[in-house]
Amino acid sequence: MSVHIPQQWSEATECIANNSDSSDPPIAFICGPNSCGKTTFSLHLVNFLLQSHNKVAYLDTDAGQTVFTPPGFLSLTVIDRSIPDLKSPSLKTPERCFFYGDISPKNDPEMYLSCIFNLFDHYLKEHRMKNDTNCRDAGLPLVINTHGWVKVSLMFYNIGVGYEVLEDMIKYMSPTHVVKIQISSKAKNLPAGAFWMSEGIMDTSHLIEMKAVAEDLLYRSVHVQKDHRVSRLMEYFRQCFLSDKNLSRTELCRAIIAHPPYEVPISIFEVKHLYCEVAATEIYRSLNATIVGLAISSKVSFRLSRCVGLGLVRSVDPEKGMLYIVTPVPQRYLVDVDLLLQGLIQIPQCLLEASGHVSPYMSPDVIS
C-alpha cells in the first residue's frame, strides 16, 4: 500500500541513518500519542535502513497495536527485506517474544518493563556487541516502536503510568535518536523537549520532533483499534490454512472452528493466569474456550518465559485429563511447551458467532 512520506519524515530518516555522532548503528526510539503515525514512520525507517544494512532489528513494545505479531505480545524481530505495505505489514516470526497478555502497560507495568528490558538486552548481546565472538549479525540498527498511552495532565501535574513507562524505557535503552511525533491536539502530545531527562543531567540522545502526516491526524476510535486486534488474531490463525489464503472472514471462522485440534495431556502443562487468581479446582476449566500463550518455562520467572505462539483452547476434558488446542505453531516447536499463559486477550466475537455451525468446544478429529 502506497503511503505519502512528507519531507520532514524523509529528513528524519536520513538523519537517523547517517548517525554522524557515532560509528555504531542507530537505535531509534519512536514515540507519540495514539494514531500519530508511529508505526508508519518506524516501518518507513526500517525500509530506509535496509538500503545500507543487510538486516534491521525491530522492537515492538505496543502490545495493543502490534506490527508483526498478534496482540498481547512484546517482541524483537529481525527484518532482512523491505516491507511493501506500511499500513498492514505481514505477520513475521519474532526472534524472541513474550506473551504479556494485555493491550497496555496499565495492569502490570513492572512485568511490561521486565519483558521489554529483557528483549533489549537480548538485542545488545546478540546484535550489537561487536567484540563478542559469539554474536550474530553484529551491529544491527534497532527501531523501537512504542505504545500511544502517553497522556499527561500538565495543569495538575498528573503523570500517568504510560508516560512513566515511556520515561523508564528511554532511560534504560539510551537510544541514539528519540523521534517524537506530534498531532494537532496539543493536550494529547508529549511535553516539549527531552521530557524524560531530569534537570542538570546530560543526555546523549538526539531528539527529533516532527508533525504527524495529515492522514494520521484523525484519532482512531476504540472500535477501530479493537478491529485491528481482531484482524491480527484472525490473520494469525489463518496460518493454519496456508493452502487456502483467500478465505473470507466468515469462511475462516468456520474453518478454525472445524480445524482438528491437538489432543494433549493436561498434566504436561503448568498454567499461569497473568491478571487474576483462579481456584486450584477451577484452573483447567477456566481455560475452556480461551486464547493462551504457548510458552517454555523459564528458570528466572514465568513472566519471562519464551513464547512460541498462541493457542485456542477448544475444549477441556478433566475426566480424561485432556486439552484440545488449535494453533498454527509447527509441531516441532510445540514439543518443549510446558507452560500455558492466560491473559486478557479474548477470542474474537466472530468466532463465537460462527459456533452455531460447528461447536468450537468439541471435535471428534484431533491431532495427538
Distance CA 338, CA 297 (A): 6
pLDDT tens, 175-205? 999 999 998 888 888 888 888 887 655 567 8
pLDDT of residue 345: 95
188-210 b/e (C-beta count within 10 Å ≥ 16 → b): bbbeeeebbeeeeeeeebbbbbb
Domain boundaries along the sequence of the chain? 7-220, 246-356
The CATH class, in words, for 7-220 is: alpha beta
The C-alpha cell 531530569 sits at 198
What is the b/e burial string over 250-278, where b = at least 16 CB atoms within 10 angstroms of the residue's CB? Answer: eebbbbbbebebbbbebeebebbbbeeee
Band of the pLDDT at 135, cuts 50, 70, 90? very low
220 pLDDT above the threshold of 80: no
Which residues of the chain form beta strands (DSSP E)?
A: 27-31, 56-60, 73-79, 96-99, 142-145, 152-153, 158-159, 177-182, 206-211, 262-265, 270-273, 290-296, 306-317, 322-326, 339-342
**pLDDT, tens digit, 9 for 90 and up, residues 99-115:** 999 999 999 999 999 99
Query: What's the pLDDT at 186?
Result: 82
When pLDDT is cut at 50, 70 and 90, the band that residue 170 belongs to is: very high
Residue identified by cell 477456566 is: 286
Q: What are the pLDDT digits (tens) for 66-79? A: 999 999 999 999 99
Is residue 58 within 8 Å of residue 140, measured between CB atoms? no
For residue 15, pLDDT beyond 90: yes
pTM as predicted: 0.90
- The yes-or-no answer to whether 7-220 and 246-356 have a common fold is no
Mean pLDDT of 286-308: 92
Share of residues in the chain with pLDDT > 90 (%): 57
Of 312 and 194, which is predicted with more confidence? 312
Contacts of 111 (CB under 8 A, 6+ apart): 100, 274, 303
pLDDT in tens, 323-363: 999 999 999 999 999 999 999 999 988 887 776 554 445 44
Mean pLDDT of the chain: 86
Average pLDDT over residues 239-245: 79
- Who has greater pLDDT, 37 or 198? 37
Under CATH, which number does the domain 246-356 receive?
Answer: 2.40.30.330
Residues 6+ apart with CB under 8 A from 24: 128, 139, 176
The pLDDT score that the predictor gives to residue 133 is 45
